[in-house]
Structure 1
């Protein structure tokens, strides 16, 4: 079984870890406005479109934890899912306000310059479906760690080339949160039996 976080201190530590998920986007950066002082560039648009696709793609993965995982993994997955839903709303609002579609270019060649698109498909999720408990937790965490590494890569591309201050701030927050979650998940994997 996955090691449990001990009492209020454990809950406090997990809360601090997940705080990066929900972060502090300035009030002016709500779902329909941008913090930008100038026009967003192609890197900003690409980042938001790809993050929306990646986050929407993870919904099914994260939902599997609600009926199959141990308590700590369920809590982590639920917190990430809730945060991603809010982030998708914000990112889609920015794109609409900028006059861009919320979906990314489906042509894989369009994304070759920034490492391609790494999404989760049925073949990734199929091995998780029959699993429960500690076996599910190990497989789920390993898949989610890879997914979060992809989010870090996308954030790094935005921070290297994006111009919109709101999108850059979001990328920084997402990168910090994903790196903290990866470290936490690695400790959970290491503590899991089997």
Structure 2
């Protein structure tokens, strides 16, 4: 299991103290609330969130959607833009990865695509729940209808064009492998750029942690893909 998968899919503990919440992983936060209080922390429907009981009492598992405390971080426009851009970006990577089983016989390519899917699906879920908790709409899923295109005004960042996606869909064997690797390397480089922008301007702890994980994980994957292209 990769570090990125473990970061968003492992067992989650939420410690409530002094009116604040310490979130280790797997929860979402909303924007600044009235009165300048911290953002509510909302339990998701993935890994369980344990809420400790009073001294001497046992803890309990929070229900999905339950507000279990407040984060000390504040969401900014940069955080929102990062999530809104990264969700369709990740979706296109999943779409490309999902093409591999029927188009390649190379176990290394299949393994790479499996790792990409395992790492990015949980991240999409975290960002989508974070946006909903903030009262924002999650970008529409256009996968299969134009290659997971980005929302208007958010193109670029290494995303494949419709023509490139159609070429990938029609490729097989070694031709598919080479095209997938070239497109995915460029795609990952775009994600790293996006993550850098979040780290430069974002303020929300969860989104900044996400950006750090994306940048580090995708740099490793770029190295593996470049080695496969040789």
**TM-score, normalisation: structure 2:** 0.66
2:86 is matched with 51
Q: Which of the pair has the greater relative contact order for Cα pairs under 8 Å at 6+ separation?
A: 1
Which structure has the larger Rg? 2
2:100 is matched with 65
Shift of 1:153: 0.6
* 8 Å contact kept, 2:159–2:186: no
Distance 1:130 1:117 in 2: 24
Shift of 1:81: 1.2
From 87, 111, 115, the counterpart of 1:79: 115
1:21 and 2:4 correspond: yes
Count of aligned pairs between the two proteins:
168
Shift of 1:155: 0.3
Structure 2 counterparts to residues 128-139 of structure 1, below 5 A: 128-139=168-179
Gaps of 5+ in 2: 13-22, 30-40, 42-69, 141-149
Higher helix fraction (1 or 2): 1
Shift of 1:151: 0.6
2:222 is matched with 182
Distance 2:130 2:190 in 1: 22
Note closer, same or farther for the CA distance 1:178–1:129 as it changes in structure 2 (3 Å cut).
same
* 8 Å contact kept, 1:20–1:176: no
* 8 Å contact kept, 2:4–2:214: yes
Q: What's the CA shift string for 1:10-64, capped at 9, x where partnerless? A: xxxxx6xxx1431424833425445841320000111011110111122321111
- The two structures, once aligned, show a CA RMSD in angstroms of 2.3
Distance 1:106 1:135 in 2: 30
1:169 and 2:209 correspond: yes
**TM-score, normalisation: structure 1:** 0.77
Of 56-65 and 73-82, more deviation after overlay is shown by: 56-65
From 26, 30, 45, the counterpart of 2:26: 30
Distance 1:99 1:118 in 2: 28
1:97 and 2:80 correspond: no
Gaps of 5+ in 1: 1-14
Shift of 1:71: 0.7
